[in-house]
Amino acid sequence: MDAREILKQVKSGQMSVDDAESYFRRQPLEELGYAKLDTHRKMRSGFAEVVFCSGKADEHLCRIYERIYAAEGEVLGTRATKEQAALILDKFAGAEYDPMSKILKIEKNGKKRTGKIAVCTAGTADIPVAEEAAQTAEFFGNHVERIYDVGVSGIHRLLSRVETIQSANCIVAAAGMEGALASVIGGLVDKPVIAVPTSVGYGASMNGLSALLTMINSCANGIAVVNIDNGYGAGYMAAQINKLAVHERD
């Protein structure tokens, strides 16, 4: 719950002044011994803490999901294995797992999604990273348009969707190989482009390093680059940009 939501509840009589004061005074973290949950992150940044599932012990993962769910009513987890997903799906009736993006979430029903983010991929093999970005942005309340397999080897595919891309408040471009998609899109739009290099390609692609270097050295303007395969980072940044655009419009 963020500060604005608490104040609205106080104003409407749903929460007492004493309860609100107690909430604001509480310690800004919950100590679990093996983890320190950042319970004030949503209040500071607008988005609650997200769980990076990979490498976590089963007991720790379940407990972290339990505490975040109790505080927020929903949880977003990234890079979850099928085994981890089975544990959470068994424990929480509303949990969902997407094996492609490895997103493991418990999400509130009826969430309003605003604005527009375009998530594009150069090829079909880039979709797992793009889906991590798209589903992250959707979890944080953003409308996402998916535009997949529009790489530069058949640029007419991209140009056939250019109006949709140009109408978005920001664009995520996920590409492996030489990573040229972000530069091409950057030359077609007047909105920020978040480039995501993926570890897709043959030997000289060096597991995404070639795409990363291409994107960093882009001659197009308005391009920011996240780490290799970091769909979550791209989706989070896109959510922040879209949120600013929606507020400005409103």
CATH of the domain at 230: 3.40.50.1970
Radius of gyration of the chain from its Cα atoms, rounded to whole angstroms: 20
More confident call, 5 vs 201 = 201
What are the residues whose beta carbons fall under 8 Å from the beta carbon of 182, sequence distance 6 or more? 173, 175, 193, 195, 215, 218, 220, 223, 225
| 156, 184: one domain | yes
pLDDT higher than threshold 70 for residue 205: yes
What percent of the chain is modeled with pLDDT above 70?
A: 92
| 199, 139: one domain | yes
pLDDT higher than threshold 70 for residue 25: no
What is the arithmetic mean of pLDDT over 56-78? Answer: 92
| 29, 68: one domain | yes
| 102, 155: one domain | no
What pLDDT shows up at residue 31? 64
Write out the residue range of the structural domain in which residue 49 sits.
3-106
Least confident among 24-28, 143-147, 155-159, 209-213: 24-28
CB atoms within 10 A of CB 243: 18
User: Could you give the number of structural domains in the chain?
Assistant: 2
| 96, 128: one domain | no
Instruction: Give which of 173, 230, 228 is closest to 201, Cα–Cα.
Output: 228
| The last residue of a domain, from among 78, 106, 134 | 106
